[in-house]
A and B are shown apart, each in its own frame.
Chain A
Amino acid sequence: ETGVTQTPRHLVMGMTNKKSLKCEQHLGHNAMYWYKQSAKKPLELMFVYSLEERVENNSVPSRFSPECPNSSHLFLHLHTLQPEDSALYLCASSQDYRGLYEQYFGPGTRLTVT
């Protein structure tokens, strides 16, 4: 495996379910990110981790809970979501959080909340 991988690629869940999205990067990067892309809206940054420490949380509702157990893995735990949370969730990584580095994205998880 190379680059940034995400599982599952598609997820349908009810509003009372609990599920998790997984991201893994094979690039040796130190920073990882979660983004949300809703229909007809720009990508929105949700969370940033640098060396497993959360450095940014962009006013994201608590029903989204990130976890970064090591610099290669990032999870997004989901519980009691709303239909408006249906979106494409993208994970990205970059060499570092500080400095001018491009971010490399995974293919995304298409989430549908019913």
Chain B
Amino acid sequence: DQQVKQNSPSLSVQEGRISILNCDYTNSMFDYFLWYKKYPAEGPTFLISISSIKDKNEDGRFTVFLNKSAKHLSLHIVPSQPGDSAVYFCAASDGNAGNMLTFGGGTRLMVKP
């Protein structure tokens, strides 16, 4: 039973437009959420995180939104650039249980020039 799900395996967006990647979770004990980006032949790279005491965190072109009641988070990339093309993973942890991440299956983002 997957506790973190990314229901869209792929997303295609035009350069300059907004990319919205979604993630749902089932474990109400999760209190820390992260997004990672992965290029081929590289390990995942940390992008942005949010703790459960917030509902939004912004870092440059990247914003993560957390809706605790819906157990849903999303990553917004504005404006999208061709270099953003990668696989994006959502991850979650229960800080009280240690820093063990549960990952979603990933969404492949393609940004077309």
Please give me the residue from chain B that is nearest to A44 by CB atom: B103
Interface assignment of A66: CB less than 8 Å from any CB of chain B: no
The residue of chain B having its C-beta at the shortest distance from the C-beta of A98 within the complex is: B98
Asked if B28 is at the interface of the complex by the 8 Å CB criterion, the answer is no
Q: How far is the CA of A101 from the CA of B46 in the complex (A)?
A: 11
Within 8 A of A (CB), among B83-113: 89, 93, 95, 98-106
Partner of A98, one of B4, B99, B104, B105: B99
Interface: B27 (CB within 8 A): no
Say yes or no: is B75 at the interface (Cβ < 8 Å to chain A): no
Beta-carbon contacts under 8 Å, A1-54 to B: 4, 6, 31, 33, 40-45, 48
- Looking at the assembled complex, report how far the CB atom of B42 sits from the nearest CB atom of chain A, in whole angstroms: 5
Q: Could you tell me if B99 and A100 are in contact, using CB atoms closer than 8 angstroms? A: yes
Interface size range of chain A in the complex: 20 to 34
Q: Which residue of B lies closest to A10 (CB)?
A: B41
Q: Within the assembled complex, what's the spacing in Å between the Cα atoms of A48 and B36?
A: 19
- CB contact list, A43-94 vs B, under 8 A: 43-45, 48, 55-56, 90, 92, 94
- Which one of B34, B46, B51, B104 has the highest number of Cβ atoms from chain A below 10 Å of its Cβ? B46
Chain A residues near B44 (CB, 8 Å)?
A: 43, 90, 105
Partner of A104, one of B46, B95, B104: B46
Which of A43, A56, A101 is in CB contact (< 8 Å) with B89?
A43
B32 is an interface residue with CB less than 8 A from chain A: yes
Q: Which of A43, A101, A105, A108 has the most CB of B within 10 A?
A: A43
Task: Verify B99–A42 contact, CB threshold 8 A.
Answer: no
Cβ 8 A contact of B95, one of A100, A103, A108: A100
Q: Can you list 23 A-B contacts (CB < 8 A)? A: A31-B99, A33-B100, A42-B2, A42-B4, A42-B104, A42-B106, A43-B89, A43-B101, A43-B103, A48-B100, A56-B100, A97-B98, A100-B51, A100-B93, A100-B95, A103-B46, A103-B99, A104-B46, A105-B44, A106-B43, A107-B41, A107-B42, A108-B43
